[in-house]
Structure 1
């Protein structure tokens, strides 16, 4: 219940700020911004520049639906230009969601038909769904890459830890647990390098041993 009240309160504050500059479309713009996470909305209310930028992006999303000539106002020779324009508009809208993967997600969405992309520009709900799907796909791809780069297919770090412990135990059986724990703080890629290069492993074990004061 509190969350709903908070959202309602944020919506009222947003509406009053947006209405001052955009009377005709204040309702739509507020609705689009309310799709964003609560903390982002709170930040917008405190940062006028951030709010203005978000409103501008939301406004651009409304324009293609109201004025299709913006996209198809030129001859067919300019098809590539309109595609670039679509990409820019889409990127700015995707960027509002602060996923950290705006570029990749925009690229994925641009692979769809032009009509679908125009729908995304005019329908914030649909855009949010597509962004979430793309984000999920990216995360799954990342997990697959990690699995492929290591022969194990379950819990990558755990498998690396087991292999590493066995090797460290041969070099320093008395402090194997502590040393392995320290080494596991490294990147998985660096750990795999240690597993394949015995000399590097020895150096890393010596450094960890020194850090532990043993």
Structure 2
């Protein structure tokens, strides 16, 4: 019951912030954002840039749903809706949920036939179910990989390296390669923490810079 009350309060606060700029769509946009975890919503209320970005995502998704519902009424046009176009529309909708796995989940959902994908685009509650299920599968796969020592560890490290490099480059473009190489010697869990916590990353970069100065 408390959780429902919290959600209602968050909803009212969100609506108040969204209404001045998007008065006609405020109700729908608030409803879409309320499908996100409460912790994410709380962050949005404290960070205007985060809220603006989420509202824009939700608006794009809303437009896509409205456009696609017109397409689904005309079955003959379905053939003309290319897989790429469907993929882009689906990605926009999936990305609203801020799972951190939008690309993977979109890929999983696109394995269904075109009619099923079109249905997902026009039915937000069905899409939410499918996204939740796909996220659960991804988490289970991740657990199995951790337990069994997956052969894709090297690929994971590559991906972490790419993300890390782009963040390090902002802090020290001159030594980004060297610093990223040093940080990649840490274990994947520690690297994930650095990616998630910018202040920890800054500390790690400063340590690496000191080490580089000592070597030179």
Which category describes the TM-score, using the shorter chain as reference length?
0.5 to 0.7
- Deviation, structure 1 residue 14: 0.9
Task: Tell me, in whole angstroms, the C-alpha distance in 1 between the residues paired with 2:41 and 2:22.
Answer: 18
Q: Distance in 2 between matches of 1:2 and 1:25?
A: 27
Instruction: Return the alpha-carbon distance in structure 1 between the equivalents of residues 99 and 66 of structure 2.
Output: 28
Residue in structure 2 matched with residue 99 of structure 1 by the alignment: 99
Give the Cα separation in 2 of the matches to 1:143 and 1:12. 37
Shift of the alpha carbon at 1:105?
0.8
- Using structure 1 for the length normalisation, give the TM-score: 0.58
In 1, Cα distance between equivalents of 2:49 and 2:3: 26
- Shifted more, 109-118 versus 33-42: the winner is 109-118
Counterpart-to-counterpart distance in 1, 2:133 and 2:80: 31
Structure 2 distance, partners of 1:95, 1:64, is 13
Please state how far the C-alpha of 1:84 moved relative to its aligned partner: 2.1
Does the CA contact (< 8 Å) of 2:14 and 2:45 recur in 1?
Answer: yes
Residue in structure 1 matched with residue 211 of structure 2 by the alignment: none
What is the SS of the residue equivalent to 2:39?
helix
In structure 2, the partner of 1:129 is 129
Superimposed CA distance per residue, residues 6-46 of structure 1 (whole angstroms, 9 cap, x where no aligned partner): 21111011112222122222111111110111111111122
Per-residue deviation, residues 34-91 of structure 1 (Å, max 9, x unmatched): 011111111112222222221222222222342336798xx889643xx323222322
Aligned partner of 1:140 in structure 2 is: 140
Asked whether the equivalents of residues 65 and 122 of structure 1 are also in contact (C-alpha less than 8 Å), the reply is yes
2:52 aligned residue: 52
Classify the secondary structure of the residue corresponding to 1:67.
helix
Structure 2, unmatched stretches of 5+, are 151-186, 189-216
- Say how many residue pairs are matched: 151
Residue matched to 1:173: none
RMSD of aligned residue pairs (Cα, Å): 3.2
Whole-Å Cα distance in 1 between the matches of residues 118 and 62 of structure 2?
10
Q: 1:145 to 1:118 in 2, by over 3 A?
A: same
The unaligned stretches of length 5 or more in structure 1 are: 151-185, 188-214
- What is the SS of the residue equivalent to 2:23? coil
Question: 2:86 maps to which residue?
Answer: 86
CA separation of 1:118 and 1:57: change in aligned 2, threshold 3 A: farther
Query: C-alpha separation between the residues in 2 aligned to 1:19 and 1:104?
Result: 33
Please state if 1:115 is matched with 2:115. Answer: yes
Tell me the alpha carbon deviations over residues 144-179 of structure 1, each in whole angstroms, 9 at most, x when there is no partner: 4456659xxxxxxxxxxxxxxxxxxxxxxxxxxxxx
- 1:61-210 to 2 correspondences below 5 Å: 61-68=61-68, 79-80=81-82, 83-145=83-145
| TM-score, normalised with respect to structure 2 | 0.57
Larger Cα Rg: Structure 1 or Structure 2? 1
